[in-house]
Every structure is written in structure tokens, then in C-alpha cells.
Structure 1
Amino acid sequence: MTFIKTTEQSSKYEHLEKMSVTELLTNINNEDKTVPLAVEKALPQIETLVNQIVAKMKLGGRLFYIGAGTSGRLGVVDASECPPTFGVPFDLVVGIIAGGDKAIRKAVENAEDNATQAWIDLQEFNINENDVVIGIAASGTTPYVIGGLETCNKNNIITGSISCNAGSPLSQTAQFPIDVVVGPEFVTGSSRMKAGTAQKLVLNMISTATMIRLGKVKGNKMVDMQLSNSKLVDRGTKMIMGEIPVTYEEANQLLKEHGSVRKAVDFFNSQL
């Protein structure tokens, strides 16, 4: 199959500079509506990869995201949300961006073109066969990401990918590729738009489904979330009240004493 970068094809909209704000917003929104449908087509691929991640994590493995630019930033965001949301160690899900953490805020010149650096970056975390590495690249051609997965494959490390072009070099490199084909962007080539949205949706699915399968959610509640601000303490207190017959004050005290909704509820039930 011939590889075509649909993410780089010309927008189906012309003369954007002549559009009113209403027209701009309406057309962007219309394009955004197509993204979940593209993700839906990739659900079987996503499911296969999630099952691989869960199996490896049950053996003590970790999940790594590698990417450059917007793709790298999205990986870092998803990884950084896992500890506060699910109460897991900060190094269970790790986001690595080409050019290092400074590239989160400011582009690092030529960082994505270095095909050997990703493996060097991964080695800092003592990457091993129990881990899973997902390469993220809208184009599916980023050397940093492809090179990283190639070396992982040679070292018996499971690899996945998230790309927005069908049949990309990245998808052909990954053992478990995910292709979410969103088509041309509203602004030609601006893959931070639909492609970025698609990647974010897939990352949400991967991390959330994995954590639920690992027992980090009870019912539909984040019972292991970190209590890092007043809003979360209040949420946790009310979650406890929904599980056991206590007042707000009693639930709040239990939460403060035990540090999580799960531990507070378990303690209360153990006293019955």
C-alpha cells in the first residue's frame, strides 16, 4: 500500500482569512466532530494494545510514551495525570519528549530528527522487557520515534504506536499500531488540531482503561486519587459518604487519617 500523508494534504477549506469568526469556529467544529468517528474505527487496535499493557503491568512493567512536538507533549500530559488521578507511582507511566523537558514549552531544533536519542532517553529509566513503549507521531514518520521503537523491538520490548496516517513507517515499525485517520486539517498541516485531538482521545482510553483493569477505580470512582487540593479533598469526602453511613465531618476525618477513599472505606468496614 502506498503511504500517503493525509495529515499534510491541503485543507478542504479555502480563503480562511476571508471567513468571519463565526465561520471559522463553525468549520473548525465541524471538522472536530469527525475525530471521534475516526477513533471508533481504531477501537480494535486500541483494545489489543491495552491488553498487552495490562498484562505487562501485572508483571511489574511500566508504560512509556515517546514523541516529539505536540505528540510528545500529549504523552507527557497523559503520563503526568496518572499519579494524581489513580494514585500510582510517578514512574509507572512515563512521558518522554524529544529534546527533553524544556521542549514541553519551547521547540528544540532538530530534536525529532535524531533517530538514536529516544533509546538513550529510555535507557535512563532502565527500560526492560517488562515495559511497553508507545510511539506517538501524527505523521507517522518522526525519526526520533521510529528509531526508538526499532531499538525496543530488537531488545524484546513490546511496542505500540499512535499515528494519524494509514500505513505509516511508524505503524509498520510498531508491533501494535493504532491508526486514527482524521484526514486533512482545517489549517493545512496543522496536526495539533484534529490529529492532536485524536491522539489525546486515544491516550485517555489507553491510560484510563489500563488503570481500571488494574483495579484503580471502584464502581466509577477514583478511589486512589491523590488529595492534592481542597476540591479533591471535598470530592473524596463525598465519595466516602456515598459508600458508608457517615457525616461529612466524619468522612473528612477518615479521609485525612487514611489518605485515600479506598483506605478510609476499607478501615471503616473492617471495624464493623
Structure 2
Amino acid sequence: MKPDNLRQLGTERSDERFRDLDRWPARRIVDTMNREDAGVVRAVRRQLPQIAQAVEMIVERLACGGRLIYVGAGTSGRLGVLDASECPPTFGVSPARVRGLIAGGRRAVTRSVEGAEDDAGAGTRDLQKLRLCERDVLVGIAASGRTPYVLGAMRSARTACAGRIALVNTLPSPIAALAEV
């Protein structure tokens, strides 16, 4: 999708229902947030078969000595880094076994690094530094399903015969097309 078509994606548009949100009373805002959150549960329920497949792939690859690597840009990347950082204390795995990569590097975890998400080559290079192999599994995270940094990483994972999981909000999408799950 060309950059000028980004606004056509649901993840990039404002919802007209919330246009005057900043003028609403606090109670209306929190009631609306709570009601909208129920939609998340329904959306996840529809994806349970794919989520189970992803979990099975991750467990299989980790059992063979592989690694779980999250890759994303902006908020998506930060969520991947956060999940990767929680796995060692929660599950007792080595930090080397669960990694999070974010476009723009470590600095991008706490600050916006504008334009980093548009560098597919950086996604490829960052993944190549990890020397991915067929025992590893990559989770590419991008709400739009088309972030170039994540696309570069997904292509690199495919070349390495690593497992590939897409975590996207937009289907069909280029990132989902590169994924096995």
C-alpha cells in the first residue's frame, strides 16, 4: 500500500463517533472505553484457532532450542519489547531466548524515532545480526500490516526458514502474507 493510501486503513483513521471526545464528561468517556473494550474480546475470540497455532509453533521452536523474537515499530515494537522483557522473570527463560526488536533501536523504546518504521533494510539487518535459524520464530507486529521495518524482518525470517507469525489488525496485508500463522 502506498503511503498516500494509509488513511484508507481502519488503523489510521479517526472514528467519527469519538470526534468530540475531549469535550465529553469523564463518566461518558470511561463508559465508552469499557463498552469498546468488549469488542476486543469478540475480536480475539474469532482468532482463537490462529492464536492456538501460534502458541504451538512457539512452544515447538523453543523446545528445540530456538528463540522467540518480536519485531515491530512504534507502539507495536514497544509492546513486543515489553513482552520479551517480561518472559524471563515470568517463565524463567533466558533473556537470550526471547528478544524484542524495535525500529530505531533501544532509544525508540522511550522516544519516537521518526521514519525508522519506513526502513525495511534496517529490519533485515537487525534480524541478520541475530543469526536467525529454522529453530527460531519471529512475531511481526504491525497494526497496519504493512510497516516496512517489519516487512524486512519477516522476509529475512523467511530466508532463514524461521517460523513466522503475524500480529496485525489489517487483513489481507503484506505482513500476514509472509507469515505461516
TM-score by length of 1: 0.61
2:19 aligned partner: 14
1:214-248 deviations in whole A, cap 9, x for unaligned? xxxxxxxxxxxxxxxxxxxxxxxxxxxxxxxxxxx
What is the DSSP-based 3-state SS (H/G/I as helix, E as strand, rest coil) of the residue aligned with 1:129?
Answer: coil
**Consecutive unaligned residues in structure 1, runs of 5 or more:** 177-272
Map residues 32-51 of structure 1 onto 2, 5 A cutoff.
Answer: 32-51=37-56
- Separation of aligned partners in 1, 2:177 and 2:131: 26
> What SS does structure 2 have at the residue aligned with 1:144?
helix
Letter in 2 for 1:77: L
Residue 44 of structure 1: how far off its partner (Å): 0.5
* 3-state DSSP of counterpart to 1:127: coil
Q: Tell me the CA shift for residue 169 of structure 1.
A: 1.7
| Corresponding residue for residue 248 of structure 1 | none
Q: Is the 8 A contact 2:124 2:155 kept in 1?
A: no
- Output the CA distance in 2 between the equivalents of 1:96 and 1:109: 16
Cα deviation for residue 123 of structure 1 reads 2.3
Mapped partners of 1:8, 1:83: distance in 2: 34
1:88 alignment counterpart: 93
The AA in structure 1 aligned to 2:20 is: H
Q: Which moved more, 1:49-58 or 1:12-21?
A: 12-21
The aligned residue for residue 69 of structure 2 is: 64
Identical pairs, percent = 44
Cα distance in 1 between the residues matched to 2:151 and 2:53 = 20
Which residue is equivalent to 2:151? 146
Q: How does 1:1-272 map to 2 (within 5 A)?
A: 5-11=9-15, 12-176=17-181
Gaps of 5+ in 2: 1-7
Partner of 2:3: none
TM-score scaled to structure 2, two decimals?
0.90
Deviating above 6 A after TM superposition, structure 1's stretches of 4 or more consecutive aligned residues are none
Q: CA RMSD in A?
A: 1.6
Q: The residue matched to 1:51 in structure 2 has which SS?
A: helix
Name the structure 1 match of 2:4: none
